[in-house]
Amino acid sequence: MKTKWALFVVHFLIAFVLIGCDKIAVLDPKGPQAQTQANVIWLSIGIMSVIVVVVCAILVFVLVKYRDSKLPKDYEPPYIEGNRVVETIIVIVPILIVAFFSVVTIITNNKVEATPQAYKGQDPLIVYASSSNWKWHFSYPEENIETVNYLYIPTNRPLEFKLYSFGPITSFWIPQLGGQKYAMSDMVTTLHLAADEAGEMMGRNANFSGVGFAENSFYVEAMSQDDFDDWVTEVKETAEPLTEEKFQQLLKPGHLGQLTFTGTHLPFSPAPEGEHAGHNHGKDGPKADTNGNQEHDVHEHDTSTS
């Protein structure tokens, strides 16, 4: 028995040490939204740990105090109607726990869905983040550039992501900056984020979208505003323009590396918002079947406004 307990303790310690070898992304926040969510996670862990400890302590106490070996062989327990105190506790305590977490969830959801409090009043960097099997397209309309599978963002500035999809529903997620939000073909959803410090991060599609889902990730780098401006200038001087023909090729199913273009796809393939909303945006681009594979019927687009 002692040997088994010794092995158990050793395995537990090894697992505990290995867990600490690499930080969990959601518990290593780099922005105010992610920090709020990390605080809620730690609060939940703390409260649940207290509950587990208390319940286990009561269980051990009951097992020791009322164990069968302490009673006479002919002992028969008396008939008991119930204990109102105990029944009240086991009903009220769970209700209070659920009510508490409900209030915390409502408050934090309102915080993370809005522009971070510290950055209110600042002009946000607007990025249209659209997905296709199995890649991400990032359009910077103000800077008039577009990237594929990588995202550069400035620190200490609010970020406003406009999310939509050219195929099946995906979910945009940068764990160190905030929570995930769905990208759909017929509408644009908005996600507010911000980065408090420079550094490299990873983002990904968090919603299964076919056979290439596992590698549907993208690189993220936060940098100072000056470095971001320098990067934009460099892109405009060196990158090739994004044409409609090239964009249709990018929409074909498959994995690509990191690409950079001047111009965006928005003039000839606009996001499903405003006058372009509700027109079944997915039909203008590749259509996806149940396996996430896309058909490619290239449609003509009105480019008279570009």
* Residue where the block lists tokens 């002692």: 2
If asked whether residues 58 and 143 sit together in one domain, one would say no
75 falls within a domain: yes
If asked whether residues 37 and 100 sit together in one domain, one would say yes
Model confidence at 189, pLDDT cuts 50, 70, 90, reads very high
> What is the pLDDT, as a whole number, of residue 21?
55
For the record, the structure tokens of 45 come out as 């862990």
- Considering only 98-102, 133-137, 183-187, 283-287, which range has the smallest mean pLDDT? 283-287
Non-local CB neighbours of 60 within 8 Å, separated by 6+ positions: none
If asked whether residues 279 and 193 sit together in one domain, one would say yes
| Last residue in a domain, options 58, 93, 113 | 113
Please report, for the domain that includes residue 65, its CATH number: 1.10.287
pLDDT of 135 above 70: yes
- Average pLDDT for 11-32: 73
pLDDT of 287 above 70: no
For the record, the structure tokens of 150 come out as 């990588």
If asked whether residues 78 and 145 sit together in one domain, one would say no
- Average pLDDT for 260-270: 96
165 falls within a domain: yes
pLDDT of 100 above 90: yes
Cβ pair 152, 126 in contact under 8 A: no
> What is the pLDDT, as a whole number, of residue 277?
75
Model confidence at 66, pLDDT cuts 50, 70, 90, reads confident
- The Cα 34–Cα 118 span in angstroms is 14
243: phi then psi, degrees, rounded to nearest 5: -100, 165
- Average pLDDT for 142-166: 97
If asked whether residues 265 and 154 sit together in one domain, one would say yes
> What is the pLDDT, as a whole number, of residue 67?
82
> What is the pLDDT, as a whole number, of residue 73?
80
- Average pLDDT for 270-279: 79
Angle 9-13-14 from CA coordinates, rounded to 5°? 120
304 falls within a domain: no
| Last residue in a domain, options 89, 113, 137 | 113
If asked whether residues 268 and 154 sit together in one domain, one would say yes
161 falls within a domain: yes
pLDDT of 53 above 90: yes
- pTM for the whole structure: 0.79
If asked whether residues 133 and 51 sit together in one domain, one would say no
If asked whether residues 78 and 189 sit together in one domain, one would say no
93 falls within a domain: yes
If asked whether residues 190 and 104 sit together in one domain, one would say no
Domain enclosing residue 257, as ranges: 122-285
If asked whether residues 133 and 277 sit together in one domain, one would say yes
297 falls within a domain: no
pLDDT of 279 above 70: no
The total of structural domains in the chain comes to 2
219 falls within a domain: yes
Please report, for the domain that includes residue 250, its CATH number: 2.60.40.420
294 falls within a domain: no
pLDDT of 94 above 60: yes
In the chain, % helix, strand, coil (3-state, to 5) comes to: 40, 20, 40
- The Cα 291–Cα 58 span in angstroms is 51
- Average pLDDT for 97-112: 95
Angle 262-266-272 from CA coordinates, rounded to 5°? 155
If asked whether residues 143 and 260 sit together in one domain, one would say yes
If asked whether residues 80 and 132 sit together in one domain, one would say no
| Last residue in a domain, options 58, 79, 113 | 113
Model confidence at 241, pLDDT cuts 50, 70, 90, reads very high
User: For residue range 172-185, what is the model confidence (pLDDT) as tens digits?
Assistant: 999 999 999 999 99
